[in-house]
Amino acid sequence: MEVAADKDTLRGFEGYAASSYFAALAAAFDGGIPFSGRARRPPPDPANAVFSFGYVIMVNALASLLEARGFDPYIGFLHMVRAGRPSLALDLTEELRHPVVDRFVLRVCNRRELTPSDFRVDPDGGGVRLTRDGPRTCFRLWEAFMDRPLPGLRERISPEELMRRQVDRLARHVRGRKQYVPIFAS
């Protein structure tokens, strides 16, 4: 196992791991919406558009939870501070992306709850976007997903409760009360 000497090296490890992860995740897509790898700006295909949609929703939800616990969500541990970027919420997103957003995207694509007709090519930016009714459909699917227990965890817990729990764990850790426990170590 390699050890990162500094944050830049750690970010390099994370980038390599993310690239490998998304390449493997692509093999799990079997529905009407294909996915060949993660690309963000602009999203080149419908699956990437839904990933971006889900990450934005989750980061905003985490930022709200962090603020409610007395944190400044713009000052993180790993993500660099940049004006307007909720770095601490992005830090937590790294841990929660797979069980929450990535699982949501895989589910709605493979179950054909979203179809290619829910997307359009943006003539201005060239990327793929949700149609006019697409966000409404995504929000409806997201809300239903957030209330269901997640498979693969030691206890039956919804994504919404999982996010709340990890923010609470971080708060207890920062206040010196308890060691932070990642979700797959708990």
Q: Would strands 128-130 and 119-121 be described as parallel, antiparallel, or unpaired?
A: antiparallel
CA 176/CA 80 separation, integer angstroms: 24
End-to-end CA distance of the chain: 22
pLDDT given at position 161: 94
Residue 1: pLDDT band (50, 70, 90) is low
Report d(CA 52, CA 77) in Å as an integer.
Answer: 22
Quote the CA–CA distance of 169 and 183 in Å, as a whole number: 10
- The DSSP code for 141 is H
Query: What is the CB neighbour count within 10 angstroms for residue 108?
Result: 24
Share of the chain above pLDDT 70, in %: 95
- Asked if residue 51 lies in contact with residue 43, where contact means CB atoms within 8 angstroms, the answer is yes
**Full-model pTM:** 0.86
Average pLDDT over residues 147-175: 90
What confidence category does residue 5 fall into, taking pLDDT thresholds of 50, 70 and 90?
A: confident
Higher pLDDT, 170 or 5: 170
Average pLDDT, the chain: 87
Q: Which domains does the chain have, with CATH numbers?
A: 7-185 (1.20.120.920)
User: Greater confidence, 35 or 163?
Assistant: 163
Is the separation of the CB atoms in 33 and 118 below 8 Å? Answer: no
